[in-house]
Amino acid sequence: MTCRSSKAGARPGLTARVALLLGSVSLVSCVDGDYNKFRIYQEPLMEAVDSLKPGVTDLESALEQLGAPLFVIEVGLGMSLAWGWQNTTDWNIEVSVPVGDAAGNFQYADTSAQIQGIVLFFDESWTMTSMQKGFLADLVPKRQRPRDVDDDLSGPTVP
């Protein structure tokens, strides 16, 4: 038994072929999209950030202006304090289409899922020496083993 859907020798039109292709793809593929919103912590007031001055601002005023930091990391004889936040929306679209025995997969992600932040550096007297802004992952110094307490020149000497 044979089954013919068109006249012998005739080819289906372009519209029919496109419809057939789209129909096939939609039936056998998987399209999935996500629209996400992330809010992690909160950005400090810019007026508070702008009020911080290297060489002038001490730890007390920095904590008063910005509140508790995310991280405190020892840096040399001083330290760095980091504040971070994220407030973003992003798209994530994934299309999976079987191609023969294999599976084709396409993914589009419009994401800026990085925490922005401010890092303040303090010297051994806990006076601010510099400020950096940007993505926190790029700014935060790597944690190291704590220094030897004998290196702490600002502290009392051990008898």
**Please, what's the b/e burial string for 19-35 (b: 16 or more CB within 10 A of its CB; e: otherwise)?**
eeeeeeeeeeeeeeeee
Site map 83..112 versus other proteins, x via CB under 8 A: ------x-----------------------
* Residue 11 or 57 having the CB closest to other proteins: 57
> To the nearest whole angstrom, how small is the minimum distance from the Cβ of residue 61 to other proteins?
10
> To the nearest whole angstrom, how small is the minimum distance from the Cβ of residue 123 to other proteins?
12
Residue 146 backbone phi and psi in degrees, to 5: -55, 145
Query: Is 93 within 8 Å of 110 (Cβ atoms)?
Result: no
Number of residues that bind other proteins (CB under 8 A): 38
Query: Is 53 within 8 Å of 128 (Cβ atoms)?
Result: yes
By CB under 8 A, residue 43 contacts other proteins:
no
Site map 54..73 versus other proteins, x via CB under 8 A: -----xx-xxx-xxxxx-xx
56's CB contacts (< 8 A; 6+ apart) are 127, 128
- Which residues contribute to the site for other proteins (CB under 8 A)? 31-42, 59-60, 62-64, 66-70, 72-74, 77, 79, 89, 124, 126, 146-147, 149, 151-152, 154-156
